[in-house]
A and B are shown apart, each in its own frame.
Chain A
Amino acid sequence: MNEKYLFLEVYPDYIKLISKEKWMLQSVQKIENLLRQIPCDKKIVWDVSLIDEFDSAGMLLFIEYFSYFAAKTKVEIAGYTSVQKEMYDLLKAEHKSKEAISVTRKNRIENLGKKAVECYDDFKEFVNFSGELFAALLYNLFHPRSIRFKETVYHIYHSGFTALVIVSLTAFLVGMVIAYQGSVQLAKFGADIFIVDTVGLSIVRELGPMITAIVIAGRSGSSYTAEIGAMKITEEIAAMRTMGFDPYHFLVLPRIYALMIALPLLIFFADIMGIFGGMVAAKMQLGISVDQFISRTQEVVAVKHYILGMIKGPVFAFLIAAVGSFRGLQVSENTESIGLHTTQSVVNSIFLVIAFDALFSVIYTELDL
């Protein structure tokens, strides 16, 4: 063996192992491959005097193989410096303490149980949040002056007005798609004009409110969670509490009020854009003129349908803002949990919007509306 880092001289009654050059982080893997090939059938004399430079990785490797050799045969160390000895003593102590720590792995059943308890705790926290929220709501009701108008207006602008473009574009495209898909089927029956019924009713009753709510859940629900979560991490919320500023009054309720005002307005706009999208598609695909489309819309889309769709607005808004704020307040003291809770917030609020939409459908059907 004649290598860069390790040199082997074999004598009749012992092996002389000479280490040289740099025993450092970059070279330890190469050295270890060499060390593994050393035969342990005779006494080993390990000469370290030719090592130019070493670091703790090199020393740890030395310690590991020294004990490995020592377990099999007699080992003698030669030519070490006082610095090497000091480092050896330092790392040797570390080396020992590592073995004392036993790692316990969690099994699946334990994880399942943990998850179940987490879900239960989550639910308890939500009940607690709801209680505090309604207490604050009631307080606002009896003390209207305690409502934070300035913050509410700020959030109406940021979650309502600035969302106009994306909401109207989405609604326009959905209206168009409905008209396109419907026109193919309706043309088969020669019932072209019923495309107006399809677009008008589905947009106003169902799709307008739902599309708007889903866009807002992704846009504002997530930002509520991230904003409140970041304030939780910087202890701003704790600071607010010590100053007597209840976070429900200062952070949660303004967001809920703002969204409850902004979302119905956005839905109104989405309805217009959705029907407009359907009108464009009907003109292109079926040649229904704008006049025809509008007069037919006036005939079939009664105000009742518009109101039924609009009622969903404040309910969806409440769900999105409440879930967003709740998840934000749940954020604990690490940055990872902001991401986790933001994801949860969006997933939860979109699910709730769809679930409540289904609930509305059932109620409307049962009431023959």
Chain B
Amino acid sequence: MSVIEAKGIVTRFGSRTIHDGVNLHINENEIYAILGESGSGKSVLMKEMIMLLEPAEGKMYVLGENLQSINAKKAQELRKKWGVLFQFGALFSSLTIAENIEIQLKEYTDVSKKMRDKLIYSKLNLVGLDAYVGELYPSELSGGMIKRAALARALAMEPKLLFLDEPTSGLDPIGARNFDQLIVNLRDLLGITVVMITHDLESIFTIVDRMAVLADKQVVAEGRLENVLQSHHPFVEAFFKNKYTKERFKDKIKNV
């Protein structure tokens, strides 16, 4: 079953066309990456999946709902089923980390305060943050901690679908690999479907199941790594078949 399906998505900003017929589908329980050069509309595409933007044409299905014809009530229900990690965290700066994680539980559930506290600290623990971090404000955290805290918030409502915008950018190499491992664990343990925008070759070669490559306003290659590598599009050639990548991931590329 596909969790997300995009059919003929066309996006325009004024006279500029960003997407001209983008098609892709994301299966349940997979880690799916959206790649492409800067300015190719990866973030825009993700924003269309989470109802922050509306495409000019085409259909977008998320968890079985058609986003173009969804009513306000169903849209509100849908928003409770996913978690979103923004590139720079986007934690609410007027709330502590614990309050950031708590806010949706408080608004949408009747869970008691005691239970909410337990949930908050289990989420913090899950993303590898100490309990005391809950008392701090976002401005008091480092970039890596903000990403983790924001992931904890995205997981607050036990979502089945997780959107990550460049989860490993701005992290140190060790932190980035730990974050990758965390994403894999979440997928395996909680059965979450992960959609992420990434440039990180390590993530792409190690944890990503399937991917879509955006270039020339369209998806030029989609599928598993070996399918994508068969494409001869200039961006795919430049991104995957350069000297560095070939050398670094030679055993993975050789298998193809």
> B224 an interface residue at 8 Å Cβ cutoff?
no
A-facing mask of B100-136, CB < 8 A → 1, else 0? 0001100110000000000000000000000000000
> Which residues of chain B are near A241, meaning CB under 8 Å?
51-52, 79
A360 to chain B, nearest CB (A): 36
Question: Does A239 touch B at the CB level, under 8 Å?
Answer: yes
Q: Tell me which residues across on chain B come within 8 A of A230, comparing CB atoms.
A: 93
A236 in contact with B104 given A243-B79, A244-B79 (CB within 8 Å): no
Main SS of chain A's interface residues? Answer: helix
Asked whether B104 lies within 8 Å of A243 as measured between CB atoms, the reply is yes
| B86–A239 touching, CB < 8 Å | yes
- Among A235, A240, A242, A245, residue most surrounded by chain B Cβ atoms (within 10 Å): A242
Contact A234 B84 (CB under 8 A): no
CB-CB nearest in chain B for A246? B76
* Residues of chain B with a CB closer than 8 A to A231's CB: 93
Per-position 1/0 for B189-209, Cβ under 8 A of A? 000000000000000000000
The total of chain B residues at the interface (CB under 8 A) is 21
**Beta-carbon contact of A242 and B82 below 8 Å:** yes
Most interface-central of A230, A240, A244, A245 (chain B CB within 10 A)? A244
Decide yes or no whether B80 CB sits under 8 A from chain A: yes
**Could you mark each residue 175-192 of chain A with 1 if its beta carbon is under 8 Å from any beta carbon of chain B, else 0?**
000000000000000000
Within 8 A of B (CB), among A127-147: none
Q: Is the CB of B50 within 8 A of A234?
A: no
Known pairs A236-B91, A242-B79; list 11 more (Cβ under 8 Å): A234-B90, A235-B88, A235-B90, A236-B92, A236-B93, A238-B52, A238-B86, A239-B91, A242-B50, A243-B103, A245-B107
A/B interface sample: 24 pairs, CB < 8 A: A230-B93, A235-B86, A235-B87, A235-B88, A236-B90, A236-B93, A238-B90, A239-B86, A239-B90, A239-B91, A240-B92, A241-B79, A242-B50, A242-B51, A242-B52, A242-B79, A242-B84, A243-B79, A243-B84, A243-B103, A244-B79, A244-B80, A244-B104, A245-B103
A-B pairs with lowest CB-CB distance, top 10: A244-B79, A235-B90, A239-B90, A242-B84, A235-B86, A242-B50, A244-B76, A236-B90, A238-B52, A236-B92
